[in-house]
Amino acid sequence: MFSREWFIYVFGRWILLSGIAGATLQVLLRGQLGIPDFPAFLLNQLILACVFWYVDKYIFQRHFGKVKQLFKFPRIKGEFNPKIEFNKITEEYSQLAVDFQKNPDDPQVWLHRFLDLYHSVEMMERVLREKGIHVDREYYRIMEENRKRGLYT
């Protein structure tokens, strides 16, 4: 979380740009235009929000692509539920197991089946997320357990 990029964003964007712009705008609205403190503050925030919407959108433009990368495959059309996806995962795993046994040392023999399995697992995650299940919380719980067990480098 405390990366170089984070410090630049916090100090550069929030403290310098928003802080200085906000203070300057507050003085202008209150002092020069005679608007009382609280309405000037609200107007100040509205103006800054309108401006910094575009600034933040520009800053995070490259990060929005990472959200899209959460899933490698497009969503399959139709209505799905965990039971349907579980059955699909089971089917894909069975097909992978058959192809893997043919030649475990040659991924080209079973790679397609592996990616089909991956796709079905990914669809299960989509279904769970669409139902409001907190998948990320469970990811972090598993990672913390594995970290305590010394499984990560």
**pLDDT at position 125:** 93
The residue written with tokens 């490259």 in the block is: 62
pLDDT for residue 63:
61
pLDDT digits (tens, 9 = 90+) for 93-114: 999 999 999 999 999 999 999 9
pLDDT number for residue 7: 77
Residue identified by tokens 């040392």 is 105
Q: 3-class DSSP state for residue 73?
A: coil
- Listed by start position, the domains of the chain span 4-68, 82-148
pLDDT tens, position by position, 23-34: 888 899 998 899
Q: Residues 121, 66, 79, CA angle at the centre, nearest 5°?
A: 40
Q: Extract the residue ranges of the chain whose pLDDT is less than 50.
A: 67
Rounded to two decimals, the pTM is 0.56
| Residue percentage of the chain with pLDDT more than 90 | 45
Query: Which pair of tokens denotes residue 24?
Result: 């300057």
Q: Could you give the CA distance from residue 103 to residue 109 in angstroms, rounded to a whole number?
A: 7
**Cα gap 28→35, rounded to integer Å:** 9
What is the C-alpha to C-alpha distance for residues 103 and 139, in angstroms, rounded to an integer?
32
Q: Which residues lie closer than 8 Å to 65 by C-beta, 6 or more apart?
A: none
Question: What's the pLDDT score for residue 115?
Answer: 96
